[in-house]
Amino acid sequence: MVFEAVEPCELIESSLPRLHEIVQTLFALPSGQQAGIGMSLGIAVRPRDGLTARDLLRHADAAMYEAKLRGRGSPEWFRFASETC
């Protein structure tokens, strides 16, 4: 996801529950079985976490893996790259 000129970070956070709800909704496979998708999300914000796409992706990727590690067995499924958000 790309957010442009969003301050403060709470505005980003406020949009995330709806995204999580949509992704986590069970759906029917052609066989009739129910399936679901889990998600982890890393968030990098420009310019705080970098100026280039490469830097932003690197920080978002690291934050995603941190969310995965912390999220096992807990409701934490997203993480900002910087703790100052």
pLDDT in tens, 18-50: 888 888 899 999 999 999 888 888 888 888 888
What are the extents of the domains in the chain? 41-85
Query: pLDDT higher for 20 or 9?
Result: 20
The one-letter code for the residue type at 20 is: H
Coil, strand or helix: which one is 19? helix
Q: Is the pTM of this model over 0.85?
A: no
- pLDDT for the residue numbered 67: 87
C-alpha–C-alpha distance, residues 81 and 28, integer Å? 34
State yes or no: pLDDT of 74 exceeds 80.
no
State yes or no: pLDDT of 63 exceeds 70.
yes
State yes or no: pLDDT of 73 exceeds 70.
no
> Mean pLDDT over all residues of the chain?
83
The one-letter code for the residue type at 16 is: L
3 state SS for 41-68: EEECCCCCCCCCHHHHHHHHHHHHHHHH
- pLDDT for the residue numbered 11: 79
